[in-house]
Amino acid sequence: MDPEMDSQLRIGFLGAGNMAYGITKGILSGNVLPVNIKVSAPSSRNLGRFQELGISVTHSNAEVVCGSDVVFVAVKPHLVPPVLNEVSPHVTDRHVVVSVAAGVTLATLEELLPENSVAIRLMPNLPCVVQEGALLFARGSHAKQEDGALLRSLLHRCGLVEEGPEAWIDIHTGLSGSGVAFVYLFAEALAEGAVKMGMPSALAHSVASQTLVGAGRLLRDSGKHPAQLRSEVCTPGGTTIYGLHTLEQGGVRAATISAVESATERARELGRRSSRK
Binding site, by residue number, is 14-19, 61, 74-77
**CA 97 remoteness from chain centre:** 16
> d(Cα 50, Cα 253) in Å, to the nearest integer?
39
35 to 72, 106, 177, 186, 222: CA distances (angstroms): 16, 30, 29, 40, 39
Maximum C-alpha span of the chain:
68
Cβ atoms within 10 A of the Cβ of 248, count?
A: 11
For the chain, give me the number of helices (H) and strands (E)? 13, 8
List, as residue ranges, the binding site for NADP(+). 14-19, 74-77
CB crowding 50-80: b at 16 or more within 10 Å, else e: beeeebbbeeebebbbbbbebbbbbbebeeb
Angle of CA points 253, 258, 259, to nearest 5°: 100
How would you class 273 by CB atoms within 10 Å of its CB: exposed for 0-12, middle for 13-18, buried for 19 or more?
middle
Q: In what order do the strands lie in the sheet with 159-163?
A: 56-58, 37-40, 11-14, 70-73, 96-99, 118-123, 133-139, 159-163
> d(Cα 50, Cα 27) in Å, to the nearest integer?
13
List, as residue ranges, the binding site for NADPH. 61
Cα end-to-end span (Å), the chain: 37
